[in-house]
Amino acid sequence: ELVRVRLTGSVYNVDKTTSNNLFNGDRTGSRYYSVMENTLSTPAAQFTSGRLNPGFTNQLRTYQINPFVKIGGLELFGVIEKAEGKHNAEADTRSWNQYAGDVVYRFLPREQLYVGGRYNTASGNLRGVADEVSVDRQALAAGWFVTPSILVKGEYVTQEYHDFPSLDLRRGGKFNGFVIEGAIAF
């Protein structure tokens, strides 16, 4: 197939619950563990390191749209998400928005090499904070599928935190650097 086009969407709604972990499960995290933690933190105590969790534990409604286009080796993928909800201790709902775009080019006969870029931004209100905060990330990456189930990849990433409260560790935070990673799929 030279051209593939796909548009998917999802809706998730929970009206009342004692605990909701859509944004808090162990598959929601970032690959940048302990980058924005204080020097006394430990991996065991900071298992949520790198995650931005809106804290919607009682009520949550989220909508997501994912457009995808592939033309030859070029892939374009997007994320458009709006989430609304509240914590058990809140009377009013808050909202968060996330937008992301990936551009990937795969090459060689079985597309075992790729280069790509990604932009991702998330913004909304944290619990107990009046002003909206946001996190922006840009990444450039390259990868090699050594076999169909073994991937070696490298990435350069920049990430910035905007408008966090003065006592929040992430206020004015930013980082950039290289990540080299291997993955084996079973």
Q: Which residue has the higher pLDDT, 72 or 26?
A: 72
Cut 0.85: pTM above it: yes
Percent of the chain with pLDDT over 90: 65
Residue spans per domain, the chain: 3-184
CA angle 168, 26, 56 (to 5 degrees): 55
Amino acid type, 13? N
Type of residue found at 66 = N
Domain formed by 3-184, architecture? Beta Barrel (2.40)
Name the token pair of 102: 């990936």
pLDDT level of residue 137 (50, 70, 90 thresholds): very high
Nearest-angstrom CA–CA distance, 21 and 5: 31
